[in-house]
Structure 1
Amino acid sequence: MAIGLLSVGGMLSLAWQIYAYSASSSPVATDVAIVLGAAVWNGKPSPVFQERIQHGIDLYQSGRVRYLIFTGGIGKGGSTAEAEVARLYAIGKGLPAEKLLTETVSHITYGNLYEACQVMKVFKFRNALLVSHPLHMKRAIKIAEDIGIKAYPSPTPTTRYRSWRTKSGALAYEVLFYMVHVGSYAIGLVDKCAA
């Protein structure tokens, strides 16, 4: 009974930390922004992904970053990598192609960040802003730090998770996968990639 209560209490505490962290946004300028992948619908960014891409574009246009790294491979039933869809979207918004980098093999947050780190090493980038939706920020930053990326949060200013129902579902997902990552790290399943 006591162990069960402690477990529930721990999960509720983590949920609160994730929710509170979602408002964290760093004002620093960095070498690059890593835009975490999301679904592509019929060759176009899903609304969630479009918000991430647009925030990356805004960071570049405001001079906060010098490059963007778009992440994500080909999703189930797709034909174009998420990162390539994002790159084409940004080019369509007037960004120079040579400032838009991609990794096109990953399918989960850990993979997005690990592969983005490989790109950072090639270009000798020292630090990054991470772009995703607000509730994803705590887990994304934790994974980045555990991999070896000097990263700062830059959540999208808007989110599709507005109702209590969608927020609670996203929050439960983040709690679960935050714990999965912490467990994976503890048993040595997280590879380092010092950028």
Structure 2
Amino acid sequence: MSWAPTRPAPSPAVRAAARPRRSSSAGRWVRRVIAGSVLAALVLIGGTAVRVWQVARIDDYSHADAILVLGAAQYDGTPSSVFQARLGQAYRLFGKGIAPLVITVGGKRPGDEYTEAAAGKMYLTDHGVPADHVLAVETGSDTLESIDAVAGAMRSRDLSSVVLVSDPWHSMRTRTMARDAGLDAWTAPTRTGPAVYTRESQFHGIARETVALLWYKLTHFPADFKYTAEQ
């Protein structure tokens, strides 16, 4: 009968030395997961910013049922410079025969005499657009409320297609919201006004809309912040 020596059990010191290796391996996996999550977030944010920039460059002059001007600040019935730039683009589109109806939208703040929609309609009619070709939807304190109000007004008139007029960087989000509301929507943004004057305002607009669009897609809540002090 042969005899084989038994291996001595590892000492407590040896067992203790082995534990940090397992802990170190788990730490590496945690770091990899965190790094992967950060990378995925950066790709998502970067991809969204690119889409905001791409859609901002689109000018689609296809014929539609209506031209929608997204509201902005007005002062006692006088549109702000941002709002005037949008209204000017809508006026040009109407003159080209893109649509037979211009829709202005937007409510008013406490203390205001006029709504954004009413101020926009007055501006357009003062510049020669017939009053019966302008519909003022006098509600909405943010983009989502405004889009939903316009979608309801259009459906009640059997209208379904719309050209959206806003600042270039706002185009992607407004188009997304309009399509979610059941409208056949495309964009022809203004190319003038404070939102497009400088590289700084352009970068600010893209960054702002990237965050706002991601927030909307995640929550379906609005995320409206000012582009400029005059908006």
- TM (normalized to structure 1)? 0.90
Counterpart-to-counterpart distance in 1, 2:95 and 2:43: 43
RMSD: 1.6
Structure possessing the higher radius of gyration over alpha carbons: 2
Counterpart-to-counterpart distance in 2, 1:157 and 1:23: 10
Using CA pairs under 8 Å that are at least 6 residues apart, name the structure with larger relative contact order, 1 or 2: 1
Q: How does 1:38-49 map to 2 (within 5 A)?
A: 38-49=72-83
Counterpart-to-counterpart distance in 1, 2:111 and 2:59: 34
Match of residue 88 from structure 1: 122
CA deviations over 1:130-186 (Å, ceiling 9, x no partner): 11111111111011111111111111132423322211211121011101110124x
| Contact kept? 1:38, 1:72, Cα under 8 Å | yes
- TM (normalized to structure 2)? 0.76
Within the alignment, does 1:174 sit opposite 2:209 as a pair? yes
CA deviations over 1:104-140 (Å, ceiling 9, x no partner): 1101111111111111112211211111111111111
Of the three residues 171, 174, 177, the one matched with 1:140 is: 174
For structure 2, the residue ranges without an aligned partner over 5 or more in a row are: 1-34, 223-231
Match of residue 98 from structure 2: 64
Within the alignment, does 1:163 sit opposite 2:198 as a pair? yes
Counterpart-to-counterpart distance in 1, 2:84 and 2:109: 16
CA deviations over 1:13-55 (Å, ceiling 9, x no partner): 2112111211112121111111111111343111110011111
Counterpart-to-counterpart distance in 1, 2:44 and 2:110: 34
Aligned length: 187
Counterpart-to-counterpart distance in 1, 2:51 and 2:115: 32
| Contact kept? 2:48, 2:214, Cα under 8 Å | no
| Contact kept? 2:164, 2:188, Cα under 8 Å | yes
Identical positions, percent: 24
